[in-house]
Amino acid sequence: MYLSRGLYVFPNKHTIRRFMYDGEEATELPEITFEQQLIDFLEINLTPFNRLLDKLKAYTKENTTPDELLGVYRAIGYTAEIFCQEEPVYSFLLCTKLYVDSYDISSYEELFEHKDHAVEMLRDMVHTQNIFFTIADAYCRFEGTHEEKTTKAFLGRETIFKCQFEQVIAHTDVGTEMFQMTRPKLPYSRGYRFDNLPAYIWYIFLHAMEFDTSFSQCNYCGHFFKPKTKKKTRYCDRVRTEDGRTCKQIGPQQIYKFRLQHNELLIDYDRAINRNYRRVERYELKLGDEKQGKDLSYNDYADWLRELHSARIAFMSGELSEEEFKETIHQLD
C-alpha cells in the first residue's frame, strides 16, 4: 500500500483513533469521540489568527521587497506549525496542506502567488469553523427529536455532502505499526486519510451528527458541550465566576431573571437570530457567489452570533447596558 504524509483515522465504535504519519513515522494522538473533536474545533478563538492573516494579506507586490516577502512566507509556515499546540491535529493538517501545495519556487512572482495561496489555505480553516458553528448552533436552537433537528439544520445544504473523503482499506500485513495497532477483527481495517483540515472537520461533523449524542449548547454562555449524563441538561460546566461557579450553577437563575425583567428584549434577540439565519440560508441557496441586498455569508453571521452570545452574558452580569446590548442585536440590520 502506498503511504504518504497525512492524518490516518480509524473509527473504533464511538471513538476514532488518529495517527499523524509524516512519511516515516506514525504518532498516535489520544482517542477522541466525534462530538468532542467537533466541540474542540468550534471552541478555538480564531479572531487573532484572522487578524494576522489580514496583515499577511496586505503585503502586496507594490509594497514588499523580495526579502520581506520571504519573511512573510516564513511567518505563514510558522503560524501553521505553532497553531493550537494542545491539540496537534490542526497544526499537523495545516502543515500537510502547505507541504502538499508547495512546489519549487524560482521567482519573486511565484513566491508572491504562493503566499496568497497559503494565506487562503489558512483562511479556509476560519471559513470551515464558521460554517459548522452556524449549523451546530441552528441544530441546538431547534426543538424536536434529533432527526427533526438535523433535517431542519441540514435543509438546503447539499454541498455538505459533496465532500469526498479518501478512504483506505488497510490490510493487517501492511508493514506499518500504525495499521497493526488498530487490531482489526477482520483481515482488514477501514480508515481514512486526510491531508487538509476542512475535509477532516467535514468528516468529523457528519459523523458527530449521525447519531443522537445529546450534542448541546449552553443556554447561558452559548458554548457547545456534551452532557456528562443522559439526563437532559441545558447548561455546561464551564467556570464563569471568580469563586469557581459554573454555568450550571448560575445560569438557570440568571436566565430566569432575564426572562422576567426583559422579556421584550429576549423576543427581539430570538427574532434577530432567526432573521439573520434566514439571510444566510437564502444566500447559501443561491447559485452565484455575489452578495446582494440583505445576503449574509456564514462568516458574517457566525462572527455576529459569537459577539451576540458574549453580549448577552455581559448584559446579564451588568457589564453591558441595555442600549449596547440592543445595538449588538441589531448590528446586521
Options 91-99, 103-111, 172-180, 217-225: segment touching Zn ion (CB under 5 A): 217-225
Cell of 88: 496537534
Binding marks (x or -) toward Zn ion, 12..51, rule CB under 5 A?
A: ----------------------------------------
Contact between 199 and 97 under an 8 Å Cβ cutoff? The reply is: no
Specify the stretch interacting with Zn ion by CB under 5 A; choose among 26-34, 137-145, 230-238, 322-330: 230-238
Stretch that binds Zn ion, among 115-123, 216-224, 255-263, 314-322 (CB under 5 A): 216-224
Region of 3-11, 16-24, 245-253, 299-307 interacting with Zn ion (CB under 5 A)? 245-253
Residue 3 binds Zn ion (CB under 5 A): no
- Which residues are CB-contacts of 182 (< 8 A; sequence separation ≥ 6)? 10, 12, 17, 170, 189, 191
Report the distance separating Cα 318 and Cα 320, nearest Å.
Answer: 6
Taking the complex as a whole, the smallest distance from the CB of residue 283 to Zn ion amounts, in Å, to: 30
Each residue of 290-318: b (16+ CB within 10 Å) or e?
eeeeeebbbbbbbbbbbebbebbbebbee
Q: How far apart are the C-alpha atoms of 135 and 58, rounded to whole Å? A: 31
Taking CB under 5 A as the rule, which mask of x and - marks residues 149-188 in contact with Zn ion? ----------------------------------------
Task: Name which position in 218, 255, 272, 320 contacts Zn ion (CB under 5 A).
Answer: 218
* Least gap, CB of 237 to Zn ion (angstroms): 8
Of residues 243 and 289, the one with the C-beta less far from Zn ion? 243
Is residue 140 a contact residue for Zn ion (CB under 5 A)?
no
Q: Is 214 left (phi over 0), alpha (psi -120 to 50) or beta?
A: left
Q: How many residues in the chain?
A: 333
Q: Give the nearer residue to Zn ion in terms of CB position, either 57 or 238.
A: 238
Side-chain-side CA neighbours of residue 39 (13 Å): 19
- Distance, CA of 127 to CA of 124 (rounded, Å): 5
# chain residues binding Zn ion, by CB under 5 A: 6
Q: Which stretch binds Zn ion (CB under 5 A): 31-39, 240-248, 272-280, 311-319?
A: 240-248
Residue ranges in contact with Zn ion by CB under 5 A: 218, 220-221, 236, 238, 247
